[in-house]
Amino acid sequence: MASPSSPGLTNALLGVLALAAYALASVFYTAYLRHPRLKAGRLATGLAVLGAALNFSFLYARSLALKNVPYADLLGSMALFGFFLAGMNLVLEVRHHDRSLGPFLMPVSLLFLLLAFVLPAGGEKRPNLKGAIFAFHVTLNMLSYAAFAVAAALSGLYLVLGKKLKHRSKNVLAGPTARLPSLGYLERAARTSLGVGVVTLAAGLSMGFAWGYHVWRVDHPFWLLDAKIWGAGLTLLFYFVVLVRAHRGAAPVTTARLCIAGFVLVLLSYTAVNLFFSRIHSFT
């Protein structure tokens, strides 16, 4: 199950336990949305906290074993993404006393942590993937991707609820739909996540430029032409335009659709570009 590059059995065990906690949290969050019984809700939250703690421990143990940041490869970065997403779900839950995002965010955390284990791992080790600037670069970028994932999930819910309201669905005031937050909340929270994502991505990319200039300028004089850098830059530009439009009063439905499209761009930039197009910037 654990990738060959993942050191240690304890570490793999922590990852598997985190997976199990995320899976169970997803089940209980969904059960709570269908039938809001307090016990199921508390169990879901408890399991999400446990999953996030195990996920963090997994990353920490990995870091100790690698004597480096734990997210210098695809496995680590995906596990970090899963951790940030679970954390954001918990922050939103505590802030708004609302568990309705859990059924949508926890499975994404689960998926990314699972992908971290099943995707092929490279063998080549890159010596320069360390240092404070590199750590900030990856952390901030992962945080921004998690924020964009949250914005996409909130936007998806906005579109679903909006469609039901638009078509005067009989269950807008009953069942799980009635337990979703209001359109107003979904729109505002998506915009906030978008803002957080844009700021952290801008900061993360700045750090990346500083690190790239320091590490690559001699060996890779054309490092700025790398597909991954262009992909990330375009993602930032896209989200920046969406954010400005949203603040200028663009129709929330359009913003919601763009948030979902933007997250597809993030996934492409993160996976396909990383794995297949980037020459100097791919995860190993």
Take residue 222 and report the two structure tokens written for it: 């054309």
Footprint on residues 156-215 left by another protein (CB under 8 A): 161-162, 165-166, 168, 170-175, 178, 181-185, 187-188
251 belongs to the binding site for another protein (CB under 8 A): yes
Report the C-alpha gap between 173 and 183 in whole angstroms. Answer: 13
DSSP state for residue 271 in the 8-state scheme: I
| 46 vs 176, beta carbon nearer another protein | 176
Q: How far is the CB of 174 from another protein (least distance, A)?
A: 5
Q: Which of these ranges, 80-88, 115-123, 215-223, 251-259, lies near another protein under the rule CB under 8 A?
A: 251-259
Select the span of 115-123, 149-157, 195-203, 246-254 touching another protein (CB under 8 A). 246-254
Three-state secondary structure call for residue 279: coil
Instruction: Tell me the number of residues near another protein by CB under 8 A.
Output: 24
CA distance 142 to 140: 5
Q: What are phi and psi of 147, to 5 degrees?
A: -65, -40
Q: Does 125 bind another protein (CB under 8 A)?
A: no
Give the residue with the Cβ less far from another protein, 128 or 171.
Answer: 171
Q: What count of residues does the chain have?
A: 284
Taking the complex as a whole, how short is the minimal distance between the CB of residue 45 and another protein, in angstroms? Answer: 20
The C-alpha atoms of residue 202 and residue 69 are separated, in whole angstroms, by 21
Cβ distance to another protein smaller for residue 1 or 91: 91
The closest of 123, 101, 106, 147 to 242, measured between CA atoms, is: 147
Name which position in 254, 261, 264, 279 contacts another protein (CB under 8 A).
Answer: 254
Q: Quote the distance between the C-alpha of residue 45 and its chain's center.
A: 19
In whole angstroms, the minimum distance from the beta carbon of 241 to another protein comes to 17
Burial class (CB in 10 A: 0-12, 13-18, 19+), 276: exposed
Q: Which residues contact 51 (CB under 8 A, 6 or more apart)?
A: 18, 21, 22, 25, 86, 106, 109
CB of 183 to another protein, least distance (A): 5
Residue 168 CB, nearest approach to another protein (Å): 4
For position 252 contacting another protein by CB under 8 A, the verdict is yes
Least Å from the CB of residue 238 to another protein: 21
What's the token pair of residue 146? Answer: 């998690």
For 264, phi then psi, to 5°, come to -60, -40
Taking CB under 8 A as the criterion, which residues in 4-63 touch another protein?
Answer: none
First to last CA, the chain: 18
For the CB of residue 65, give the shortest distance to another protein in the complex, in Å.
46
Q: Which residues bind another protein (CB under 8 A)?
A: 161-162, 165-166, 168, 170-175, 178, 181-185, 187-188, 249, 251-254
